[in-house]
Amino acid sequence: MITEILKGLQRTLFDRPLKPVLLLQGRYRINEVLGMGSYGITYLAQDHLTDTIVVLKQLRTTKAKTESGLRSFKRESEILKAVQHPQVPKLLDEFQNDRGFFITMEWINGDTFEDLIFRDQHTYSENETITIFLELLNIIETFHENGIIHRDLRIPNIIQRNGKLYIIDFGLACFLSDRETADPDDHPEKLRMRAVTVESDLFALGHFALFLLYSTYEPQSKEERSWEEELNISNSLKAVLRKMLQLDDPFHSVADVRTALLQI
């Protein structure tokens, strides 16, 4: 508890976001703060050289003082270069100045599934969920073929724009060859999602699917039940999700998941 309080104080004192209208590198003018993650602060900015809106990500000052923080930030740019997928933001620039370390990325102007579900009250049937799943699997398979694990496939990091899906935020992504050390105090669910394995992305996608499927759920009683009891979905999809969530012998590849979904 004390450690977390100290970390919070450090962030308040040293990790303050840059102010809007600030101009960086003579071309990037900050418009607004998009979010603050564990390693970085993300902004929307105007690129005056290309007259486009871009995403600017700054490494937190406190993280820049640590070897692991610098390594993780630099790895994100390396991974974006390696991915090169039309449904992933393009890396546009990377630079360092007296305000810290920065990378610039393409802005995917769409709606996250967090917005679609909770803000717009959008609902997803079993068939719609499977269709979305299959498109995501095609993107993620490309990551895995390049030896990359995303490790953060959550509803805020998956965007829909003009009927097409995009995956963003590679701040926690890593290469399969990396050796990440897990915090033994982490919740078992977090440990599964952060593992440097293909299965960790499949586990996260299983949870993503539950968010979509629960969008149609209407409680019939106050009694708390398992998702298998509450969701009105086919037994075939339940079996797929159980394997993705590692409740049964898990899938070990995107291809295995795709084959199982196409059989439903």
Active site residue ranges: 152
CA distance 69 to 62: 8
Alpha carbon distance 42, 15 (integer Å):
12
Calculate ∠ Cα 116-80-99, nearest 5°: 95
3-class DSSP assignment, residue 261: helix
Residues 6+ apart with CB under 8 A from 232: 216
250: tokens are 């898990």
Which among 10, 16, 142 has a CA at the least distance from the CA of 88? 142
Beta bridge partners of 33: 43
Q: How many H helices and E strands in the chain? A: 10, 11
Query: Residue 211 in contact with residue 227, Cβ under 8 Å?
Result: no
Return the H-helix or E-strand segment holding 112.
strand 111-112
User: In terms of C-beta density within 10 A (0-12 exposed, 13-18 middle, 19 or more buried), how is residue 210 classed?
Assistant: middle
CB 253 within 8 A of CB 244: no
Could you tell me whether strands 158-161 and 164-167 are parallel, antiparallel, or unpaired per DSSP bridges? Answer: antiparallel
The answer to whether the CB of 104 falls within 8 A of the CB of 50 is no
